[in-house]
Amino acid sequence: MEGLADDVLRDVLTRAGGYDCCVTEFVRVSATVLPHSAFVRVSPELRRSSRTRAGTPVRIQFLGSDPALLAANAAHLARLHPAGIDLNFGCPTPLINRNRGGAALLDEPELLHRIAAAVRAAVPAAIPVTAKMRLGISDAAKAIDCALALEAGGIQELAVHARTKDDGYRPPARWEWIAAIRQAVRLPVVANGEVWTLADYQNIRAATGCDDVMLGRGAVADPLLARRIRADAPDDAGADWTAVAGMIMDFWTQVQAKVLPAQAPGRLKQWLGLMRRSYAQADELFMALRELRLAHEVTPLLHRHLAAGTR
């Protein structure tokens, strides 16, 4: 979700409703204690009691491998009163993994324990410390060991993405491993992986026994998915397009205020590229915008397409 699930998209999605909390893109902790400005840049919500405009709590996610350095950054961040600190042991990106970050640490349960314990000890008890992990690097042989190590380190909630690092995002997600991890630990486990629809949400809960589910790419592909899950309402992409069109315009307005005019179209196309999975109208809009490079070219075309699609 790096480069996509920033504060703008978090704002748009959480105002649609349905979310208990959300997590930032990761903050890379690698060499020094970062200034407060670095945390606020990733999570401007820190200026609003660590909540989106809709009131949804936002946890700040750390990625790194040095327990002492992660703890020092956590202690510094704690002064800004974040809604929580989340530890990333799930990122499968090769560049991150080559630098000993994300899922690359899943062969070292003892290191995961030291990181969790150091961060937990560094921040006040009122600030939740959570983690997200995958099943392993190439197999799930150490998945339960990693989960137990994080639990022993003091984390209060564990999200499990049901693939290994080497699996990337290729289906299927192995939900049965989430069930095994949930049986092995006493802390709350959040299920994650291949949830694109209300039916997927119902199926992952049944397969894992988890009360809670984390949405990733599914929430981006269908911006109303969390609201639909909360209402237990069937998918109706055609009827929902009017609401989604308003969200797209809101997103476009905010993105233009945040990034350079030459960068804004890429952000919009990135979101529409995933939304094509759920909405035929998004596919049509993506194809119409695909060759445009500047914001002033995009705006009139966007207005025409969205107006036509909602009549």
Task: Quote the pLDDT of residue 233.
Answer: 81
When mean pLDDT is compared across 93-97, 139-143, 199-203, 236-240, the lowest value belongs to 236-240
Is residue 236 pLDDT above 80, yes or no?
no
Q: List 87's β-bridge partners, or say none.
A: 62, 131
Using DSSP, state whether 90 is helix, strand or coil.
coil
Going 160 to 161 to 167 to 168, the CA torsion angle's sign is negative
**Percent of the chain residues past pLDDT 90, beyond the cut:** 88
- Averaged pLDDT of the chain: 94
Q: Which of 21, 22, 91, 210 is catalytic?
A: 91
Q: Which residues in the chain belong to E strands, given as ranges?
A: 22-28, 58-63, 85-89, 129-133, 158-161, 189-192, 212-214
> Which residue did the predictor score with more confidence, 304 or 14?
14
Q: What is the pLDDT of residues 72-124, one digit of tens each?
A: 999 999 999 999 999 999 999 888 888 889 999 999 999 999 999 999 999 99
Is residue 53 pLDDT above 70, yes or no?
yes
- Annotation says 91 is catalytic: yes
What value does the CA radius of gyration of the chain take, rounded to a whole number of Å? 20
Average pLDDT over residues 131-159: 98
Q: What is the pTM of this model?
A: 0.94
Task: Quote the pLDDT of residue 310.
Answer: 58
Distance CA 103, CA 166 (A): 9
Average pLDDT over residues 151-180: 97
Q: What is the pLDDT of residues 60-72, one digit of tens each?
A: 999 999 999 999 9
Give whole-number Cα distances, 192 to 110, 160, 201, in Å: 24, 6, 9
Q: Is the peptide bond before 172 cis (omega within 30 degrees of 0)?
A: yes
Is residue 3 pLDDT above 80, yes or no?
no
Q: What is the pLDDT of residues 247-304, one digit of tens each?
A: 999 999 999 999 999 999 999 999 999 999 999 999 999 999 999 999 999 999 999 9
Average pLDDT over residues 216-226: 96
User: 90 with 135: CB under 8 angstroms?
Assistant: no
Task: Quote the pLDDT of residue 95.
Answer: 80
What residue ranges define each of the domains in the chain, with the CATH number in brackets? 7-231 (3.20.20.70), 237-309 (1.20.225)
Task: Quote the pLDDT of residue 237.
Answer: 53
Task: Quote the pLDDT of residue 98.
Answer: 81
Is residue 39 pLDDT above 60, yes or no?
yes
Task: Quote the pLDDT of residue 235.
Answer: 64
